[in-house]
Amino acid sequence: MPKHALLFFHWSSQYKQHQHSLKSYCTVVQILVRANLLIDAQALLESAVSKNPNPGSSIKLVSETLLSTYESSAADPRVFDVLVQTCLKLRFLDQAFDSCCYFGDHGITLSLLSFNRMLHVAQRSNRSNLAWKVYEKMLENRVYPNQASVETMVNLLCKEGSLQRMLGLSDRIHGKRCAPVVLVNMALVLWMFEEDRIEQGFILLRRMLQKNLILDDIMSSLIIFAYCKTGQFDDAKTAYDEMRNRGCGSNVFVYTCFIRARADMGLIEEALRLFDEMHSIGLKLYDETYNCLIESCAKAGRLEESLAFYEEMKREGLVLSFSTFSEIVGILCDNGEVEKADEIFTALSDTGFVPDEAIYCHLINGFGRIDKAQKCISLYHEMQFRGLDIGPHVYAALVRSLSQCGKLKEAEKFMKKMEEKSVVLCQTGQCFSPMR
């Protein structure tokens, strides 16, 4: 009977020149899916989508019509999976996800197979952000990952370069390696927190815990991280107390969150007290803890303590981060510690650190203040050797520093180069004024 319906549909179209409506297409698709003729149903949906001059935009209309014909008949919910999988086959990934959300809003949840296919296509298409949205929607709809889902998301973490970060985070919180699904779920929640979707992240974390998709200490630590990130220190402290009452031990990640929160509020003494407390209970500090303290002390004008933390960090075999050095290099140079800044810069360069123009400007200005003209010129040649684009700001720093050192001929040479660079930028609509 379903086959007869399909034959009649095609016959009336070919021999009677009947123009079928979208509702007719969707009605026949419903009949075919109910009869388990999924390949025929998919072929008919492809035809319905492709009839429109803009197939991508027609999928929304197909979704709406499919839903209306579903509600008016005793149809099979697999029809919605067939549509989403048809979209994926036609490479309409965004439309497949939009349809998934549309059906979800109407109380219809896709199968795990459909979610896995969306994840796979998004990952293979380098659509990282969309893959995380699909994975979040999957958990939100209470469709829980299987091995295929987790393998796809682990591959995504590898592509993003985030897997090592998640492994390190699990070590710092839990003290040992966790199952891949836990790493993936940690990454999802952190991604949500980075987008400031804190409450949604909390809801998902608690749902994950109920399904053993995350560990209690990791869930609590991520909640504390979110509270600290948003400046809710009292809530973070309450969450920490609850965590301890449930038998979870202290960990270095949580302490680092507290230290950063206090430092960001300008409470350096409180941050240092927490640092001493970490030491006293035997927690081993990691690079993020030191980076936070080095940066915070430097910003507060406590350069001696900042440099002392840097030396301690070096002894522990840890490396200063690019972002921290970028923050403190100007402070060091402005306070006469340019040689120390240069020493740190050299040590970082040996680890593959690639400086930017702003860092070179700070160093050139710093060496100009202590009358080391040759060092300024050496930094310029170093930029050339590295193949870095030397912009007008660098030339302005060289002119200013060499003039301070009394090297007026050299300053004039760089002034000409700066003028040439400015002319080029003005011709491309990016005018530069060294007086800015």
CB 263 within 8 A of CB 291: no
Distance, C-alpha 303 to centroid of its chain? 32
pLDDT at res. 359? 93
* Residue at token pair 């400086």: 355
Q: What single-letter DSSP state applies at residue 237?
A: H
CB 418 within 8 A of CB 399: yes
pLDDT at res. 423? 44
**In sequence order, which residues have a C-beta less than 8 Å from that of residue 281 and are 6 or more positions away?**
250
Distance, C-alpha 318 to centroid of its chain? 24
Distance CA 102, CA 43 (A): 22
Domain boundaries of the chain, sorted by first residue: 1-110, 355-436
Closest CA to 104 of 73, 77, 69: 77
* Residue at token pair 């009394």: 406
CB 158 within 8 A of CB 121: no
**How confident is the model over 59-104, as pLDDT tens digits?**
888 888 888 888 776 678 899 999 999 999 989 999 999 999 999 9
**In sequence order, which residues have a C-beta less than 8 Å from that of residue 351 and are 6 or more positions away?**
319
CB 251 within 8 A of CB 172: yes
Residue type, 12: S
- Could you tell me the CA-to-CA distances from 343 to 86, 329, 346 in Å, in that order? 59, 11, 5
Locate all alpha helices (DSSP H) within 335-391, ordered by sequence. Answer: 338-349, 357-369, 373-386
Distance, C-alpha 147 to centroid of its chain? 23
* Residue at token pair 């003729």: 37
Closest CA to 292 of 229, 385, 342: 229
Q: What single-letter DSSP state applies at residue 428?
A: T
Per-residue pLDDT of the chain (436 residues; tens, 9 = 90+): 566 555 555 556 555 555 666 777 778 788 888 877 888 788 888 887 877 667 667 888 888 888 888 877 667 889 999 999 999 998 999 999 999 999 999 999 999 999 999 999 999 999 999 999 999 999 999 999 999 999 999 999 999 999 999 999 999 999 888 999 999 999 999 999 999 999 999 999 999 999 999 999 999 999 999 999 999 999 999 999 999 999 898 899 999 999 999 998 889 999 999 999 998 998 888 899 999 999 999 999 899 999 999 999 999 999 899 889 988 999 999 998 999 999 999 988 888 888 889 999 999 999 999 999 999 999 999 999 988 888 888 999 999 999 999 999 888 888 888 887 664 444 444 444 444 3
- Tell me the Cα Rg of the chain: 30
pLDDT at res. 9? 58
Reduced to 3 DSSP states, what percent helix, strand and coil does the chain have, rounded to the nearest 5?
Answer: 75, 0, 25
Distance CA 242, CA 217 (A): 11
For 307-330, give one letter per residue: b (16+ CB within 10 A) or e: bebbeebeeeebbbbeebbebbbb
387: left (phi over 0), alpha (psi -120 to 50) or beta: left
**In sequence order, which residues have a C-beta less than 8 Å from that of residue 247 and are 6 or more positions away?**
none
